[in-house]
């Protein structure tokens, strides 16, 4: 949580038409930015998803060969809920991402394919601001995105526990909940005792707390 001396966050810029969301795993967009994506697509903006892995190591008790296609399909359905029609998976191994030249080349190809006005990725810091450590895949991937975007002139942002930029997502929270809840098999194994919709609602609530005078807001920081 920001201290009392932290400046109030500014409103996230919306003077753009196409955003490329680059993340490491399925469900990464839903843990923090789905409500903002729903707002933007409702405005007629184009949002595209690129995922380094298929999250095949993410469902306990399910083989990677089975889990990968399951998680890809859940991500496609989840993206559709918030108005994202194009979702690409790059095939890197889950839980083994490294900021390599190969990965940066994949990011550069995605930038060239779509020519986005802005790029958005997941928080790349060592923890989530509450002492919970970040995953190595997230940190390595965000560093790769930052290095790939540098010098291109494309504005890039990351979700952030202590944001400097916020998006008013009032009216889009339930869409974000529905989007995350599409990851049904993943969430049902992650916490078998809590209904998937309740898990989704709790996660989205934590990502859309009141900020900057808005009843619900999603926060970002410039990347780099």
How many other C-beta atoms can be found within 10 angstroms of the C-beta atom of residue 24?
25
Which residues make Cβ contacts (< 8 Å) with residue 216, sequence separation at least 6?
A: 35, 168, 169, 170, 172, 173, 208, 209, 210
- Please provide the distance, in angstroms rounded to a whole number, between the alpha carbons at the two ends of the chain: 21
The bridge status of strand 46-53 relative to strand 18-23 is: parallel
The band of 6, judged by pLDDT with boundaries at 50, 70 and 90, is: low
Which residues make Cβ contacts (< 8 Å) with residue 109, sequence separation at least 6?
A: none
**Which residue in this structure is represented by tokens 């083989």?**
63
What is the average pLDDT score of the chain? 95
The model's pLDDT over 106-122, given as tens digits with 9 standing for 90+, comes to 999 999 999 999 999 99
How far apart CA 44 and CA 24 sit, in angstroms, is 26
The model's pLDDT over 60-70, given as tens digits with 9 standing for 90+, comes to 999 999 999 99
The band of 186, judged by pLDDT with boundaries at 50, 70 and 90, is: very high
**Which residue in this structure is represented by tokens 């609602």?**
201
Distances (CA, A) of 130 to 69, 86, 167: 33, 33, 21
The band of 1, judged by pLDDT with boundaries at 50, 70 and 90, is: very low
DSSP 176: H
């Amino acid at each position: 949580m920001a201290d009392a001396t932290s400046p109030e966050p500014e409103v996230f810029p919306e003077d753009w038409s196409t955003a490329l969301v680059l993340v490491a795993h399925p469900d990464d967009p839903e843990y923090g930015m789905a409500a903002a994506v729903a707002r933007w697509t409702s405005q007629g903006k184009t949002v595209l998803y690129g995922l380094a892995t298929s999250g095949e190591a993410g469902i306990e008790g399910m083989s990677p060969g089975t889990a990968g296609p399951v998680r890809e399909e859940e991500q496609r359905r989840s993206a559709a809920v918030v108005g994202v029609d194009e979702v690409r998976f790059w095939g890197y191994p889950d839980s083994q991402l490294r900021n390599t030249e190969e990965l940066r080349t994949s990011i550069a190809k995605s930038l060239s394919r779509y020519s986005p006005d802005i790029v958005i990725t997941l928080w790349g810091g060592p923890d989530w601001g509450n002492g919970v450590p970040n995953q190595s895949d997230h940190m390595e991937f965000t560093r790769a995105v930052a290095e790939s975007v540098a010098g291109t002139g494309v504005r890039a942002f990351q979700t952030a526990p202590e944001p400097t930029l916020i998006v008013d997502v009032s009216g889009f929270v339930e869409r974000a909940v529905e989007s995350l809840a599409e990851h049904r098999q993943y969430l049902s194994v992650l916490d078998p005792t809590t209904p998937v919709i309740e898990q989704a609602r709790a996660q989205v609530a934590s990502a859309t707390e009141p900020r900057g005078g808005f009843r619900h807001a999603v926060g970002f920081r410039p990347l780099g």
